[in-house]
Amino acid sequence: MVAVTPLEANHVQGSRLQLMFCGMEFATPLVLLSGCVGFGEEYTRVQGFSHAEVGAVCLKGTTLAPRLGNPAHRVVETPSGMLNAIGLQNPGAHAVVHDILPKLDFRETRFIANVSGSTVEEYEEVTRIFDDSPIDAIEINISCPNVKEGGVAFGNSPEMSARVVAACRRATHKPLITKLSPNQTDIGENARRCIEAGTDGFAVINTLMGMAIDIERRRPVIGNNQGGLSGPAIKPVALLKVFQVYQVARAHRIPIIGQGGILTADDAVEFMLAGASAVGIGTSLFYEPLVCREINAGIMAYLARHNIAHVSDLIGSLELNAD
């Protein structure tokens, strides 16, 4: 039997896994999530990895000025998950555009910038900087604290979320993907306001806030005291949030990247049934760097087993139980 390379395997899968997301062609529905693969070029060092296995790569969160990030510890493993509080360490938007983007091969996959800020004006300026670059799309991380409003996260308020999206919309014609926080009262209302403000897509969800405690030291393990929880522990929450956002977004044909605890093809299929057009792969990369290959193969097997022609036929096809 002749061995098949990842690139050849993707060709064999052909159009069954390809899809359009915010006007961009994705080779597969898998998206490597922001913060998990650095600024893109780091992950290419993983032996056996091929960009043909993913539809897009989200770059690390970027602010206007360079940031050193939070004190250690920044990452801690928790039951069925991981807490992180990196603190948006990055070299600043100008350095990313001038020093990092030229090293990326935009013929291999789509690259999505992740914009962060502490004021609406910073979001707008960073978006404007990325607008004048080869980046394919811009993800807005609205889970950052608003320094002008006492540190309340932009993403926890529909009004503030919409203000950020509107400001970024003014600064670019590139596709805008708003990353929604689960740490809010009504994610559907937030999604509605962001659609009105001009978002082209959503990423659902960002991490849940959590804490881990060292009982011997009687101190939080994370240097920042609290961090974002990711991994399988948050999957049920993420699935519900994707479903709730889809109820609002589908009428406007706004696509969703569903994310939160996806480890297997079954997980990915669940998110697509709930309404996701694409699925984000994050925490699972830390212990299985080549997991995307397994997930793509599993999705293909599911399509064949259920005689489904194309992966997009899964989107929002969940049948609810009768009342």
State the average pLDDT over residues 239-267. 98
State the average pLDDT over residues 29-58. 91
**Residue 323 in domain:** no
Task: Give catalytic status of residue 194 as yes or no.
Answer: no
**Residue 322 in domain:** no
Instruction: Give alpha helix (H) positions in the chain.
Output: 6-13, 93-95, 120-131, 158-171, 187-197, 235-249, 265-274, 291-305
State the average pLDDT over residues 213-220. 98
Q: What pLDDT does residue 148 have? A: 72
Number of domains in the chain: 1
**Residue 212 in domain:** yes
Active-site entry in 22, 36, 58, 144: 144
% residues pLDDT > 90 (the chain)? 85
State the average pLDDT over residues 61-78. 95
Full domain range(s) for residue 310: 6-314
Computed over every residue of the chain, the mean pLDDT equals 92
State the average pLDDT over residues 269-294. 96
State the average pLDDT over residues 75-104. 96
Residues 6+ apart with CB under 8 A from 118: 63, 144, 145, 146, 147
% residues pLDDT > 70 (the chain)? 93
**Residue 283 in domain:** yes
**Residue 279 in domain:** yes
Q: What pLDDT does residue 1 have? A: 30
Which residue in this structure is represented by tokens 């030291």? 217
Collapsing DSSP to helix, strand or coil, 115 comes out as strand
Q: What pLDDT does residue 323 have? A: 75
The whole-angstrom separation of Cα 245 and Cα 256 is 8
Query: Higher confidence at residue 88 or residue 144?
Result: 88
State the average pLDDT over residues 204-222. 96
Q: What pLDDT does residue 147 have? A: 65
CATH number for the domain that contains residue 93:
3.20.20.70
Spatial strand order in the sheet of 227-230: 75-78, 81-84, 227-230, 208-210
Checking if the pLDDT of 12 tops 80, the result is no
**Residue 1 in domain:** no
**Residue 170 in domain:** yes
CA angle, 228 then 65 then 132, to 5°: 100
State the average pLDDT over residues 179-184. 92
**Residue 320 in domain:** no
